[in-house]
Amino acid sequence: MKDNMKDNMKDSTKPRRPPNARDVAGLAEVSVSTVSLVLNGKAALRGIPEATIQRVMEAVERVGYRPNAMAAGLRRQTSDTIGFISDLIATTPHAGPMIQGAQDAAWEAEKILIIVNTGDDRSVQDRAIEMMLQRQVEGFVYATMYHRFVELPAVLREIPSVLLDCRSEDTTFTSVTPDEQSGAVAATEHLLSAGHRRIGYLQTNARIPAAMERLEGFKMALQSRGVDFDPHLVATGIDEFSGGFEAASSLLDLPTPPSALVCFNDRMAAGAFRAAHRRGMVIPRDLSVAGFDNEELVSLFTDPALTTVQLPHYEMGYWAVTNLLGQIAGTGAAGIRHRIACPLVARDSVGPPKDDPSSRDEN
Amino acid sequence: MKDNMKDNMKDSTKPRRPPNARDVAGLAEVSVSTVSLVLNGKAALRGIPEATIQRVMEAVERVGYRPNAMAAGLRRQTSDTIGFISDLIATTPHAGPMIQGAQDAAWEAEKILIIVNTGDDRSVQDRAIEMMLQRQVEGFVYATMYHRFVELPAVLREIPSVLLDCRSEDTTFTSVTPDEQSGAVAATEHLLSAGHRRIGYLQTNARIPAAMERLEGFKMALQSRGVDFDPHLVATGIDEFSGGFEAASSLLDLPTPPSALVCFNDRMAAGAFRAAHRRGMVIPRDLSVAGFDNEELVSLFTDPALTTVQLPHYEMGYWAVTNLLGQIAGTGAAGIRHRIACPLVARDSVGPPKDDPSSRDEN
DNA sequence: CTGTTAGCGCTTTCAA
DNA sequence: TTGAAAGCGCTAACAG
């Protein structure tokens, strides 16, 4: 059907079809089973002599043999493939590390990832899952680009699946998410250790798990140090630069403004920077700021560099696939809810409070 | 081997193996060929009556039949799969749109993408290609995360391949890259149209195609408007914030500083903003700035918003796969070098020059 | 130690 | 209008 026999001049044998195991067997003067055995490293078990192995390998080399994974998979009833469904790869910098982590874990197990990005479109998603199922994927990673709750297609229950950066009401699914709370604790404690006691919180108005959990961590950290939580020190806005700017402005205009700010995310933190600058404040001398997410560009452009909390995207991706492979192999457990720590990335936006000489030399 | 027969209580038949075409055929009381015909939409051609089709479809539904793509592929000698090799997905925001574009084009043709990310490691790359070849991919997209020259493994010549955001000495490969030059022309013309005549250029010291081509576009635009290119107005630095800051500083400290700056990229442009601010200059009143790349966060955080040039990542990804599918189908041509335009994104960092009353009301 | 044989699940002539 | 049969390329009993 195809006409790709244009430049076949050195090969007198014109291989309309790629060489297969039979060709190798013929050349090596063995049977196809022997070829299969040798190529799958089972030669030793069956006591095939080195000489035969050599002959086979040479033949493989000679004809440029490449085993057909579809045929092997069909026979062996495996595909060594795992499906990766994600919502919105294109518009977030978080996708890269998650995919990379997933990919690395898969690679170590000689599995391959097939990725489809649904653009958050339900029908695309359903068709994608169906396609993957037809391709005999051994399991699914269902990933979202920000931590949220999802409603899952029922088919995912039929086959090992893990939720990456999201969770479901259905607790039979394994999920891996950032430990938002402990991340916020770390950021807040960092501020507390620098001597701050009057700490504001810039909250997002988005109703997402990270919102609650980070605030919760903030409160916990205060409490554990015996600092009362003051609801007036929480200002809310959209989780972008502008929201941070406005929320921070309202806090900084308070009669007794906070000396430090924990921000829902880096973008809001950047907004807080601007609000502070507009008021002639210098960070961290007049105001300490901690962000969340460690978005590369934000920390690159804030001046001074932003102290923030890292989201463990790579690690989550890696963990997701590792757990999935466990489920597939029958070893690992399903239905577990794993949280991965969000390490603090201390940079230069945190210092001691201005009017607290006691902690001048603490940081 | 697997023990997933926990909640099989309504199904009295315990399906240790998933239903296949034979099961469907049995239930519908037809042969497997008929099932195949119906499912592949060839029923009409063969004149299979509606009633039979119905019976088959019902049976499919009943048993929850899902065609095995590996078996079909084996038989049909196709995989409907294309391999996507990329260097460094994790560390760049450009990956998302490229993958998305590739993915969308593949999706429309009912192909699926298998992606592996080599981390720029040669041995990983070679093994990845080998794995994909074994999986019978129908072609390759070889992508890099910034426009550059690559040396390609010879195997890629055996099978349709297209280079995405990179090029090779070997011109038999199709490649798609951004039209850097015309992008720079657009940015420069925008500045010229605003009335600027003394325009500086912030160049990267990286030796990459984009460096030459953007500068070339800058020169061309000047020339076409009869403005002499002044080499003293080109300052070089690393293509990051710091390099932009330094390069811009040197230009702004000139006896007769430029009234506008074209920057190799947005990060350098952000550095230029800071350099201007440090000198008490207000953008765009005292200095107009144009960037390149349209990195979301940069334009979000510069104040005023940065006028820049968009890199066509999505379009390139889409084009790459579209061309590849053409090659596979035997229609499209190989060996073509395609460039995609980089549209100007006009925002607020460009205005008329301060001391040029003639163009006060032009912009 | 090696080969024969029987499929994996599907598509596709070809014959009825 | 439908079915039987032959294989795609490989693996894995089982037999020698």
Per-residue pLDDT band at B332 (split at 50, 70, 90): confident
Q: What's the whole-number mean pLDDT along residues A320-344?
A: 94
Of all residues in chain B, the percent with pLDDT exceeding 70 is 93
**Within an 8 Å CB–CB cutoff, is residue A270 touching chain B?**
yes
- Distance between B93 CA and the closest CA of chain A, angstroms: 5
Which tops the pLDDT comparison, B90 or A344?
A: A344
In this predicted structure, what is the pLDDT of residue A361? 43
Partners of B297 on chain A (C-beta within 8 Å) are 295, 297-298, 301
Per-residue pLDDT band at A356 (split at 50, 70, 90): low
Whether residue B160 has a cis bond before it, omega within 30° of 0:
no
Mean pLDDT check: name the lowest of A39-43, B35-39, B237-241, B281-285: A39-43
What is the number of alpha carbons within 13 Å of residue B186 lying toward its C-beta?
19
Q: Closest nucleotide to A36's CA, by C1' atom? A: D11
For residue B173, give the 3-state DSSP assignment: coil
For residue B83, give the H/E element and its range.
strand B81-86
Question: What is the set of domains in chain B, with CATH numbers?
Answer: 2-67 (1.10.260.40), 80-172+313-340 (3.40.50.2300), 180-307+346-359 (3.40.50.2300)
Checking if the pLDDT of A360 tops 70, the result is no
Checking if the pLDDT of A13 tops 50, the result is no
In chain B, whose CA is at the least distance from the CA of A8? B158
Shortest CA distance to A215 belongs to which of A227, A228, A225, A201? A201
In this predicted structure, what is the pLDDT of residue A363? 38
CA-to-CA dists, residue A159 to A306, A334, B64, angstroms: 43, 11, 14
Q: What's the whole-number mean pLDDT along residues B144-167?
A: 94
Of all residues in chain B, the percent with pLDDT exceeding 90 is 81
CA-to-CA dists, residue B123 to B60, B128, B242, angstroms: 45, 8, 34
Which protein residue lies nearest to nucleotide D8, measured between its Cα and the C1' atom? Answer: B75
Nucleic strand D near CB of residue A75 (< 7 Å)? yes
In this predicted structure, what is the pLDDT of residue A14? 45
For residue A88, give the 3-state DSSP assignment: coil
In this predicted structure, what is the pLDDT of residue A330? 87
Altogether, the residues listed in chain A come to a count of 363
User: CA-to-CA distance for A230 and A223, rounded, in angstroms?
Assistant: 11
Q: Are A161 and A173 in contact (CB under 8 A)?
A: yes
Q: Are A266 and A298 in contact (CB under 8 A)?
A: yes
C11 C1' to B189 CA distance, Å: 59
Residue B197's beta-bridge partner residues?
none
Q: Are B39 and B67 in contact (CB under 8 A)?
A: yes
Whether residue A284 has a cis bond before it, omega within 30° of 0:
yes
Read off the amino acid at residue B198: R
Give 3-state DSSP helix, strand, coil % of chain B, rounded to 5: 45, 15, 40
In this predicted structure, what is the pLDDT of residue B16? 65
In this predicted structure, what is the pLDDT of residue B341? 98
Q: Are B177 and B166 in contact (CB under 8 A)?
A: yes
**Long-range Cβ pairs for the range B235-239 (8 Å, 24+):** B235/B200, B235/B201, B235/B202, B235/B203, B236/B202, B236/B203, B236/B204, B236/B205, B237/B202, B237/B203, B237/B204, B237/B205, B237/B268, B237/B271, B238/B204, B238/B205, B238/B206, B239/B204, B239/B205, B239/B206, B239/B264, B239/B265, B239/B267, B239/B268
Q: What's the whole-number mean pLDDT along residues B145-166?
A: 94
D13 C1' to A34 CA distance, Å: 14
Cα-based angle B293, B294, B296 (whole degrees, multiple of 5): 130
Which tops the pLDDT comparison, A235 or B6?
A: A235
User: CA-to-CA distance for B60 and B56, rounded, in angstroms?
Assistant: 6
Nucleic strand C near CB of residue B346 (< 7 Å)? no
Non-local (6+) Cβ contacts of B122 within 8 A are none
In this predicted structure, what is the pLDDT of residue A349? 96
**Within an 8 Å CB–CB cutoff, is residue A238 touching chain B?**
no
Nucleic strand C near CB of residue B22 (< 7 Å)? yes
Q: Considering chain A, what is the average pLDDT of its residues?
A: 90
Altogether, the residues listed in chain B come to a count of 363
- Distance between A17 CA and the closest CA of chain B, angstroms: 10
Cα-based angle A88, A167, A116 (whole degrees, multiple of 5): 30
Test the B interface: residue of A134, A136, A315 with most B CBs within 10 Å: A134
In this predicted structure, what is the pLDDT of residue A16? 63
Per-residue pLDDT band at B84 (split at 50, 70, 90): very high
Residue A344's beta-bridge partner residues?
A309
First-to-last alpha carbon distance for chain A, in angstroms, is: 74
Structure tokens at B137: 């991919």
Read off the amino acid at residue B78: T
In this predicted structure, what is the pLDDT of residue A90? 72
The distance from CA B235 to its chain's CA centroid, rounded to whole angstroms, is 29
Across A167-185, b (16+ Cβ under 10 Å) vs e yields bbeeeebbbbbbbbbbbbb
Per-residue pLDDT band at A98 (split at 50, 70, 90): very high
Q: Considering chain B, what is the average pLDDT of its residues?
A: 91
Checking if the pLDDT of A332 tops 90, the result is no
Q: What's the whole-number mean pLDDT along residues A220-224?
A: 98
What would the pLDDT profile of A276-326 be if each residue is shown by its tens digit? Answer: 999 999 999 999 999 999 988 777 778 899 999 999 999 999 999 999 999
Which tops the pLDDT comparison, A331 or A273?
A: A273
**Within an 8 Å CB–CB cutoff, is residue A300 touching chain B?**
yes
The distance from CA B225 to its chain's CA centroid, rounded to whole angstroms, is 32
In this predicted structure, what is the pLDDT of residue B356? 54
Partners of B116 on chain A (C-beta within 8 Å) are 103, 107, 112-113
Strand C positions within 7 A of protein Cβ atoms: 1-5, 7-13
Checking if the pLDDT of B194 tops 70, the result is yes
Per-residue pLDDT band at A4 (split at 50, 70, 90): very low
CA-to-CA dists, residue B290 to A151, A280, B298, B346, B351, angstroms: 44, 28, 12, 9, 11
Contact A99 B117 (CB under 8 A): yes
Q: What's the whole-number mean pLDDT along residues B343-362?
A: 77
CA-to-CA dists, residue A326 to A162, A168, A331, B95, B123, angstroms: 11, 20, 5, 29, 27
What would the pLDDT profile of A14-32 be if each residue is shown by its tens digit? Answer: 456 899 999 999 999 999 9
What would the pLDDT profile of B291-328 be if each residue is shown by its tens digit? Answer: 999 988 777 778 899 999 999 999 999 999 999 999 99
Which tops the pLDDT comparison, A181 or B45?
A: A181
According to DSSP H, which parts of A142-286 are helical? 180-193, 209-224, 241-252, 266-278
Checking if the pLDDT of B252 tops 90, the result is yes
Q: What's the whole-number mean pLDDT along residues B265-284?
A: 95
First-to-last alpha carbon distance for chain B, in angstroms, is: 73
CB contacts < 8 A, A to B, total: 132
